[in-house]
Structure 1
Amino acid sequence: MKLGEHFYNKHGADKSKYEYIRQKMPEMGRLVLQARTLGKLKTIEDFFLPANFNHVVKAVKMTCGWNEDTSSFKIPSLSLKLGHSLTKITDIAAFDARMSENKKALENVLTFRQLKEKKWDEWVSAHALRNLRESKWNKPLLIPYCEDVVRLHNHLDARRPEYQSNLETAPNKKNWLNLAKLTLCEVIVFNRRREGEVSKMSLNDFLLRNTFVSNPDLDLALTDVEKKLCKFFERVEIRGKRDRKVPVLLSPDVVSSIQMLVNNRRKCGVPDENLFLFGRPEAESHLRGSDAIRGMAFECGAKNPQTLTSTRLRKQIATMSQVLNLRDNEEDCLAGFMGHNIRVHRQYYRLPEGTLQVAKVAKVLMACGRGKLSQFKGMTLDEINVDPNEEVPEDSSLSGSEDETTVKEAMSAPSSSSSGKSSYTFCIKNI
């Protein structure tokens, strides 16, 4: 209960964090119930007795489905979460012991903390992290097809007038939810925003959006098309990951839909206490963006509706941007709009590693295997062209004159050239 009080004191001002607090309570409840079956741990205070540390580790492993034969967890993420919660509870217990001047209890808590710092990683965390890493091996990276994205956009454009008309003629809970889910999906898909960020957009974020007229001096640096786009879209700033400020662009059609939702909130049962723009009727929570996208993805008839998620749509725009020849400042601008720093953008949002290895590195390996690497001296990976269906002659060794010519060319190449070194090494080995 004190753990829940701690989280509420820290996050209680943000209603969007209530679900996070609800999740933490049953996690620890499952651990306490499992610990009681061991006989030694009846209450949380028993967890902090140094002699019971092994029982605490055993209880965590049992709760998370530990398999002794494979040294793996069935739910590895839960073991990490329980470890963090135990650390929080340890801090709370130490604070209470100091406040009550209970030296014996404080000594037990501090000893438990030392034991956890020294052995928790070895007995729990290391195995859980290994399980999480291995679960991602050989997992295909699914990126939405452009045709599915176009089909989804067309479906949203076609349904929007219908849902607006229904809400205007019959303002009820069902029609309000239909238009709210469609608009929420449209904002997420167009802006490639994280679904949680848009779902938690507050009513004030929209009402207090920036509608200023652009500076004439700045317009001198824009093209005619860019000037028109600045007048076409409206920009809303919302809270992103790690409290970063991230923008959301709204087209006139989306703005009209949101205005209609705002005007009919009370008629459709959305309470005034609900601070969310996409709030649920008769509740103080918000609609889930993931549910909205999933429903629209299946409705539009996409070939692979499971790939149409906010995360994969974000990866698609960041990955496909490599096709463009973006300058550093343009890449920074795109990364800033996506809501992550440039290091994350370059490290995690590139072409899939498997694609690079098959498409790029395989050409070098094939050229080496066929004795043709020297033919591509001075070329980049993009310039090398090797046909995988080309037949390789049985006797692939070079003739004497060709050997001499190749070696001379390799020896005459600058020593700083990596391609020269590779050709020279290959030729010597071949001879």
Structure 2
Amino acid sequence: MKKEDGSRQYNKKHHCFYCKKVVQKMSRHLERMHNDEMDVSKAFSFPKNSKERRLALDLIRNKGNFEHNTDILESQKGKLIPFKQPKKKTEGQKFLHCVYCYGLFTKRSMWRHFQVCKFKPQDETRDKGQGKTRVQALCAFAEPAPPGFSDVYWKFLNNMNQDKIAIAVKKDRYILEYGYRLFKKNERVISQHQYVRQKLRELGRLMLAAKKVAPVNTIKELIKPEKYSHVVTAARCLAGFNDETGKYKCPSLARKVGHSLLALAMFKKSEGLKARDKGTVQDAEEFAQLYQESWKFDALKEEASPSNWKDLSKVTLAQVILFNRRRAGEVSKMPLSVYLSRDLSETHEDINLALTEHEQKLCKHFVRITIVGKRGRKVPVLLTPLMKECLDTLVERRAECGVLTENGFLFALPHSVHHLRGSDCIRQLVHECSGIKNPRALTSTKLRKHIATLSTVLNLKNTELDQLADFLGHNIDVHRKHYRLPEGTLQLAKISKVLLALEQGKLGKYKGKSLDEIHIDPNGS
């Protein structure tokens, strides 16, 4: 601001780092009131009007203003003290603190200041390759973390581009809490950090789109059944839905946002259960039900693209492996010719006579194909109607999605002669699912041992056990030796009954009964 005669008016005030007072002449205040402080006495030890003295006093002044600005940013109330006052009233979100000198600058001018900052280390001063977004991300580290979140998580968030989407994420407490849960689950898995940031940016973009549709302040307000139509409208706008053609510009984005919303609904439900808030739990459950019934973006049918083809292939490949408990490599290398030449004939009437009515329905429900397993032996794969529908769509759209004609794999990679890896697909989908207690247990190898081990609980006959081992591609001797309940478990659960009955003098009571028929409590009842 200027005086009436046009001369400059020196009315800017600063926050004292030591006594917390707001003063106008900071140098004079420090010399008179805080000359006993080590940093102040060191600054005034330099010659008057020297460069060293000015820089030392500027750093103390900036630290005091930084402390004041930090309190303002946390409370979201008050007036910030920038390094250079803007000509008109400006929102605090447009400013960032320099990570070196602690001065508050606009985001647009931060990049220019970074090149000439006097407090920047000499080895970094020569580096001219840092872009504007990288500089903003680096300086965002100086911002204080909100209450309830760790500095490590805040640094993790500030690694993303500091644009309007990042601001929307930081302003929404619920998105931050949801992201904090994902971050804690993957804190040590550095490769998943970018994926978590991507999920948060998707929610931030959805929040910005939703504000144009309906008056909402947080994404938590969207997780309600009455707001579902607004969510769908916002997601369609975000994915570039065309009402005339009925197609999406980016259908995969709408599908990914849907997955994040479902996970967010489950997060809201868990928070409601903790707080015993029945209304919150009911809103989350009804929203999730609406999502399951109506959020259907058939991306590959709407738009044949390599990314959509690859996404559907990953999900289908993982489903086939998990349902059949097959080795991941066996299904991944499944030839296209095997699927096209599958047996489509119905079960013979003579065979139906040996099957129950329920078993006949199962024969009509599933499709069976045979692939090459370990050591060249043939192993079967069962497909549900949904799997078959997905595979038929993949086969129909191969050429449109860039799958090479010389690629003979069913789960082929577009523009390549290689195939998708089932283990990678399962690992990716496991990380995308929230609420899994033991994600490391969801591998094809451990799931195969799981079914073989728990099948012993069914007390299968020898012929039935042979059929299960043949389906899994196991040698029957290996199956019985390695894939069964551990002996310790059997002894605890079965043999302990005999010992208890002997100790209590009741063994004669169970004459003619098997171990499964004996029910005796350790306490004697």
- Structure with bigger gyration radius: 2
TM-score (structure 1 length as normaliser): 0.48
Higher helix fraction: Structure 1 or Structure 2?
A: 1
